[in-house]
Chain A
Amino acid sequence: GQQLNQSPQSMFIQEGEDVSMNCTSSSIFNTWLWYKQEPGEGPVLLIALYKAGELTSNGRLTAQFGITRKDSFLNISASIPSDVGIYFCAGQITGGGNKLTFGTGTQLKVEL
């Protein structure tokens, strides 16, 4: 099935640094979602975006829905050790059976 491309694939950063990752698609989506998954667990929703151009924050996390509807980015400010995990974007099409198409994932490792 289709996957969304995420970059970078992985990143190793210092505690306190800001992090940026993005997600691109060849198709248009009506909703963009960002999830975090820790080892052996299901994904947990971080931010949901419903309008092109929308910029939404959740604590230290900020995400934007690209104007073209084909991309989104997620920023994490002042990273801390518990930010470690895999971050997935997901796109959803209205009326498409509510199915989610997941990105390839960005693995974040934080160095103390």
Chain B
Amino acid sequence: GAVVSQHPSRVICKSGTSVKIECRSLDFQATTMFWYRQFPKQSLMLMATSNEGSKATYEQGVEKDKFLINHASLTLSTLTVTSAHPEDSSFYICSARSGAFSYNEQFFGPGTRLTVL
């Protein structure tokens, strides 16, 4: 149990276009989902926290108008990178947690590799 999927697994887009990444909890209801960004050979950096039905909370330095997050249901959150530029190329990883599990464990998705040309 506790499986999180992401789609697509990798995407290549042209500069200036928008890209949507989906994060789904497959066998549990996720009250909270988190979005991370990981540059090559670096650690995971939290971008934002989203709770179902409410606006996402962004970390300092993350542009909320550029990285649009929607958490419309208990099993789906989406991250849209608007007007993507090459510097947005990164590995985007989501995680999900449910109050039904003990100790607030987060379950991570397999990540989405974004390459902006």
Q: Give the interface of A toward B (CB within 8 A).
A: 1, 3, 31, 35, 40-45, 48, 50, 88, 92, 97-105
B79 at the interface (CB under 8 A from A): no
Interface of B is mostly: strand
B34: Cβ under 8 A from any A Cβ: yes
B44-80 near A? 1/0 per residue, CB < 8 Å = 1110010000000101110000000000000000000
CA distance A29 to B93 in the complex (A): 23
How far, in whole Å, are A103 and B45 apart by their CA atoms in the complex?
10
Closest 6 CB pairs of A and B: A42-B108, A102-B43, A102-B44, A98-B104, A42-B111, A42-B110
A-B contact count (CB 8 A): 58
Query: Complex: how many Å from CA A50 to CA B97?
Result: 17
CB of B108 within 8 A of CB of A98, answer no
B109 and A42 within 8 A (CB) = yes
- Return A103 CB to nearest CB of chain B, in Å: 6
Listed residue (B34, B43, B46) with the most chain A CB atoms within 10 angstroms of its CB: B43
A45 lies within 8 A of B49 (CB): no
State whether A41 touches B46 (Cβ < 8 A).
no
Complex: A104 Cα to B45 Cα, angstroms? 10
A44 touches B108 (CB 8 A): yes
Is B89 located at the chain interface by the 8 A CB criterion?
no
